[in-house]
Structure 1
Amino acid sequence: MMSAQSPVRARILDSAGRLFGADSIRSVSADKVIADAGTTKVTFYRHFRSKDHLVVAYLDGQLDDLRAAAEAQRTAGGDACAVLLRLAAANGEIACRPGFRGCTFINAAAEYPADGVVRDAVERYRTWLHEVVTGLLVELGADHPDVVADQLIMLRDGAMVHGFMGDPAAVADALVTAGRAIITAHLPAQQHP
């Protein structure tokens, strides 16, 4: 097995990420990634057993980046509510970027069947996200934190789709405002943000 630190592997993943972001995961062939990365099929398949395994490595890398960003939000200070609001604002800003094509994980879930390694990678992300949001809601003392986490994640998912299909400029403020309303509805009165 090749090291995750291999420069060739990193170059292939960089090419895949750029191509997946510009088009769609399914429409980008392994041959297109190979050509963009300036490598050979033999080298590609030495690092990835299949295109699906490349997609999994790409998604897992995206999850690692999100974990680091969430941890940075936690260490930036403030209570759990402040962290949730900063995460919502960051998601809104992502949806407002030029060229935004929707959430990588939602897109992958839409493009791949439910019973494969790619959907397993999407599920790892969804599980992590739910755990982070639920943990913050528990810290806040929210009623039914699992249910509220589901509501906030549905709101985030909708914002990502709206950022791609609707008016991206409206996403950031709307996401924070709606998220604050959901959280407030489930907190004791003295804790309203």
Structure 2
Amino acid sequence: MMTTAPTQGRSGRSARQRLLDAADELFYDEGVHTVGIDRIIERAGVAKASLYNSFGSKEELIEAYLDNRHAGTMARLTDAVQQHTDPVARVYAIFDAQAEMLAQPNFRGCAFISASAEAPPGGAIEHAADSYRADIRNLFTDLVEAAGAPDPATLGRQLHMIYDGAILSAQMDRDPSIAVAARAAVTALLDAALPSGSRRQPQAHPTTPPTKEHS
């Protein structure tokens, strides 16, 4: 990826950061394949050369956008997990954090699913999505292993499926209260898979959305 000394705009943000902020907003709202570089440049308020000096191409800008989404999601989930010491409560903490995300007015589903929809196989988008999904699945696997699951790889993958399903349902049905059903599914799965001494369910997060809300 090409790098140059950042140019500061009137806002104090570098041209690179302004481009990345504009791409994050437009790519997430409308899709990486729909939004052209001219709209990103216009939204960022920078010269066209700034995009090529900072990222080299639209593909590299998409990579940076997905890397940023990856890092942000993992930081949010890790922070939620670290608020608890009980292994089972840590699993639920991921779904509580997800419930908050689903209830956001600007929620538009999973950035990686959207970007992958029309992406060619084997490209940068596929690699970015694979890396992101592996980190989410490994987080679940590590947590249930700490909780005493006899088959943490299988249970981690099953929890990942519930996590994915909640995102898709909230997006397609425009109903963030699916988080309540997702949490119930997690409880049933953990009750069946974990030793009896590890099954205590923590109190539901108070921000879990109780009613249907357009996202």
List structure 1 runs of 4+ shifted beyond 4 angstroms: 3-6
Using the TM superposition, give the Cα deviation of residue 36 of structure 1 relative to its aligned residue in structure 2, in angstroms. 0.9
Question: What residue in structure 2 maps to residue 90 of structure 1?
Answer: 97
Which ranges in structure 1 are unaligned for 5 or more consecutive residues?
A: none
Structure 1 CA distance for aligned equivalents of residues 146 and 189 of structure 2: 16
8 Å contact kept, 2:32–2:115? yes
2:43 pairs with one of 36, 54, 57:
36
Say if 1:78 and 1:3 are closer, same or farther in 2 by CA, change over 3 A: farther
- Superposed, which structure 2 residues align to 1:12-51 within 5 Å? 12-51=19-58
Matched, 1:115 2:115: no
Looking at structure 1, the residues matched to 99 and 138 of structure 2 have their Cα atoms a distance apart, in angstroms, of: 20
Code of the residue aligned with 1:22 in structure 2: it is: D
**Secondary structure at the counterpart of residue 85 of structure 2:** coil
1:9 match: 16
**Greater relative contact order, per chain length (Cα 8 Å cut-off, separation 6+):** 1
Change (3 A) 1:17 1:4: farther
> Structure 2, unaligned stretches of length 5 or more?
8-13, 201-215
Q: Measure the CA separation in 1 of the matches of 2:86 and 2:6.
A: 36
Looking at structure 2, the residues matched to 39 and 192 of structure 1 have their Cα atoms a distance apart, in angstroms, of: 54
Q: How far apart are the structure 1 equivalents of 2:68 and 2:105?
A: 22
Q: Secondary structure at the match of 2:165?
A: helix
1:177 aligns with 2:184: yes
1:188 partnered with 2:173: no
Query: Aligned pair in 2 of structure 1 residues 104, 138: CA closer, same or farther (>3 Å)?
Result: same
Alignment root-mean-square deviation, CA: 1.8
Bigger proportion of residues as helix: 1
Q: Distance between the aligned counterparts of 1:132 and 1:3, measured in 2?
A: 35
Asked whether the equivalents of residues 4 and 53 of structure 2 are also in contact (C-alpha less than 8 Å), the reply is: no
CA contact (8 A) 1:53 1:118 kept: no
Q: Tell me how far apart the structure 1 counterparts of residues 72 and 106 of structure 2 sit (CA, whole Å).
A: 20
Question: How much has 1:10 moved relative to structure 2?
Answer: 0.8
Please say if residues 92 and 175 of structure 1, whose CA atoms lie closer than 8 Å, have aligned partners that are also in contact. no
- The residue that corresponds to 1:132 in the other structure is 139
Q: Are the aligned partners of 2:88 and 2:198 in contact in 1 as well (CA < 8 Å)?
A: no
Matched position secondary structure for 2:177: helix
Aligned residues: 193
Measure the CA separation in 1 of the matches of 2:102 and 2:69. 16
1:33-82 deviation line (CA, Å, top 9, x unaligned): 11111112211011112212111101111111122223312331231211
